[in-house]
Amino acid sequence: MGKKKLVRKTHVVPFVNVGSESAPDWRRIEKSKTFTLALNPQVKTYDYISSELPEEEITGYQPSLAQSLTMWKGSDDYQIFFDMLFKLETGEDAHRDVMIVFYREKGKNGGDDVYKAWKVDALVKVSQLDTVDESINFDLAFNKIEKGAMSTASGKPAFIEGTWADTTFTPA
């Protein structure tokens, strides 16, 4: 077991795709003051006749990520979410591809460094513009999670779908 390393707030990072699905352009959500990833386990209760107490089993998860974005006009992340607020987007227009990168979870893809990552179809639920706190508040409700890695081998963040075995990444 190696030296222990604390996972700090800069080591779990959200990105949002400002490009298209076929030509993604990942931009870091930088000016948020909140990062609370709620996994929201979904459970089912079984009341077996052989058990004194009912038993629960996890049937799935419904993750969401709360964000409170400081309103810095001119920053990429502000413009993306302000535009969604201003347009009052609904339906498919309220979805964005989001990538969550776990920078303390590093591995190799061939000779390149990669990091564990999720690519998520997120429903952006803009809830509040707070001028006193100078923030836009929203939740990213995770609808579909693809597991894989984030690579910067091309010079820009890129998501690669695949699987992990310890620190070895295998692309799908």
Sorted by where each begins, the domain ranges of the chain are 9-45+55-171
Instruction: Indicate the pairing of strand 26-28 with strand 64-70.
Output: unpaired
Which whole number is the average pLDDT over 22-31? 94
> Above 70 in pLDDT, residue 99?
yes
The fold for domain 9-45+55-171 equals: Pnp Oxidase; Chain A (2.30.110)
110: left (phi over 0), alpha (psi -120 to 50) or beta: left
Residue 86 is predicted with a pLDDT of 97
> Above 90 in pLDDT, residue 1?
no
pTM for this entry: 0.91
Instruction: Say if residue 95 is exposed, middle or buried (CB neighbours under 10 Å; 0-12, 13-18, 19+).
Output: middle
Which whole number is the average pLDDT over 135-164? 96
| 23 phi/psi in degrees, rounded to 5 | -135, 75
Residue type, 10: T
98 closest CA partner among 11, 16, 2, 37: 16
Element (H, E) at 37: strand 36-38
Which whole number is the average pLDDT over 22-45? 95
> Do 98 and 15 meet the contact criterion of CB atoms below 8 Å apart?
yes
13 closest CA partner among 122, 77, 99: 99
